[in-house]
Amino acid sequence: MEENKDEKPMVRVEDFEEYDVKCADCEELLLKMVKVRDSEKSYRMIIECPFCDGESWLIELVGDYFQQTPKRLKLGKGGAEDRDGVLVTKMKRRW
Protein backbone atom coordinates (compact mmCIF):
# COMPACT_ATOMS: atom_id res chain seq x y z
CA MET A 1 0.00 0.00 0.00
CA GLU A 2 1.33 3.44 -0.94
CA GLU A 3 1.59 6.16 1.76
CA ASN A 4 0.07 9.57 1.15
CA LYS A 5 2.69 12.11 2.27
CA ASP A 6 0.11 14.93 2.40
CA GLU A 7 -1.88 13.25 5.18
CA LYS A 8 -1.43 14.59 8.71
CA PRO A 9 -0.64 12.12 11.48
CA MET A 10 -3.65 10.65 13.25
CA VAL A 11 -4.80 12.47 16.39
CA ARG A 12 -4.88 10.22 19.44
CA VAL A 13 -7.03 11.21 22.43
CA GLU A 14 -4.37 10.08 24.90
CA ASP A 15 -2.00 12.70 23.43
CA PHE A 16 -4.33 15.63 24.21
CA GLU A 17 -3.03 18.22 26.68
CA GLU A 18 -5.37 20.85 28.11
CA TYR A 19 -4.29 24.31 29.20
CA ASP A 20 -6.70 26.61 31.06
CA VAL A 21 -6.22 30.32 30.39
CA LYS A 22 -7.36 32.36 33.40
CA CYS A 23 -7.47 36.07 34.12
CA ALA A 24 -4.36 37.14 36.02
CA ASP A 25 -6.49 39.50 38.13
CA CYS A 26 -9.77 37.73 38.97
CA GLU A 27 -8.86 34.09 38.14
CA GLU A 28 -11.94 33.58 35.87
CA LEU A 29 -11.53 30.88 33.23
CA LEU A 30 -11.31 32.69 29.88
CA LEU A 31 -10.33 30.00 27.36
CA LYS A 32 -9.28 26.36 27.15
CA MET A 33 -6.50 25.41 24.77
CA VAL A 34 -6.25 21.73 23.81
CA LYS A 35 -3.02 20.47 22.26
CA VAL A 36 -3.83 17.81 19.68
CA ARG A 37 -0.33 17.08 18.36
CA ASP A 38 3.25 18.21 18.49
CA SER A 39 4.39 20.57 15.75
CA GLU A 40 6.70 23.52 15.17
CA LYS A 41 3.83 26.06 15.37
CA SER A 42 4.18 28.53 18.21
CA TYR A 43 1.62 30.89 19.70
CA ARG A 44 1.99 33.89 22.00
CA MET A 45 -1.29 35.21 23.32
CA ILE A 46 -3.05 37.30 25.91
CA ILE A 47 -6.79 36.99 26.58
CA GLU A 48 -8.71 40.07 27.77
CA CYS A 49 -11.21 39.50 30.59
CA PRO A 50 -14.81 40.77 30.26
CA PHE A 51 -15.45 40.36 34.01
CA CYS A 52 -12.85 42.71 35.52
CA ASP A 53 -11.28 44.37 32.42
CA GLY A 54 -7.99 42.63 33.27
CA GLU A 55 -6.21 40.07 31.14
CA SER A 56 -4.41 36.75 31.29
CA TRP A 57 -0.69 36.39 31.69
CA LEU A 58 1.28 36.04 28.45
CA ILE A 59 0.83 32.47 27.22
CA GLU A 60 3.39 30.78 24.99
CA LEU A 61 2.36 27.48 23.41
CA VAL A 62 4.06 25.19 20.88
CA GLY A 63 2.12 22.60 18.86
CA ASP A 64 -1.26 22.27 17.12
CA TYR A 65 -4.08 23.53 19.35
CA PHE A 66 -7.85 23.79 19.32
CA GLN A 67 -9.55 26.38 21.48
CA GLN A 68 -12.75 26.10 23.47
CA THR A 69 -14.60 28.96 25.11
CA PRO A 70 -16.32 28.47 28.47
CA LYS A 71 -20.13 28.24 28.18
CA ARG A 72 -20.76 31.78 29.35
CA LEU A 73 -18.16 33.41 27.08
CA LYS A 74 -17.62 33.93 23.37
CA LEU A 75 -14.89 35.49 21.25
CA GLY A 76 -15.34 39.23 20.88
CA LYS A 77 -15.93 40.95 17.55
CA GLY A 78 -12.90 41.35 15.37
CA GLY A 79 -11.14 38.22 16.60
CA ALA A 80 -7.55 38.64 17.73
CA GLU A 81 -5.36 41.72 17.38
CA ASP A 82 -1.60 41.37 16.77
CA ARG A 83 0.50 43.46 19.19
CA ASP A 84 4.19 42.99 18.37
CA GLY A 85 3.82 39.25 17.71
CA VAL A 86 1.37 38.64 20.56
CA LEU A 87 -2.25 37.76 19.69
CA VAL A 88 -4.58 39.67 22.00
CA THR A 89 -8.12 38.26 22.05
CA LYS A 90 -11.14 39.98 23.60
CA MET A 91 -13.74 37.75 25.22
CA LYS A 92 -17.40 38.75 25.65
CA ARG A 93 -20.10 37.46 27.96
CA ARG A 94 -22.88 35.45 26.32
CA TRP A 95 -25.45 36.65 28.85
Threshold 0.85, pTM exceeds = no
- The pLDDT of residue 57: 97
Rounded to 5°, angle at Cα 16 from 56 and 22: 15
* pLDDT exceeds 90 at position 81: no
Q: How confident is the model at residue 1 (pLDDT cuts 50, 70, 90)?
A: very low
* pLDDT exceeds 90 at position 33: yes
Q: How confident is the model at residue 56 (pLDDT cuts 50, 70, 90)?
A: very high
Higher-confidence residue: 95 or 1? 95
Sign of the CA dihedral with 78 first, then 26, 36, and 63 last: positive
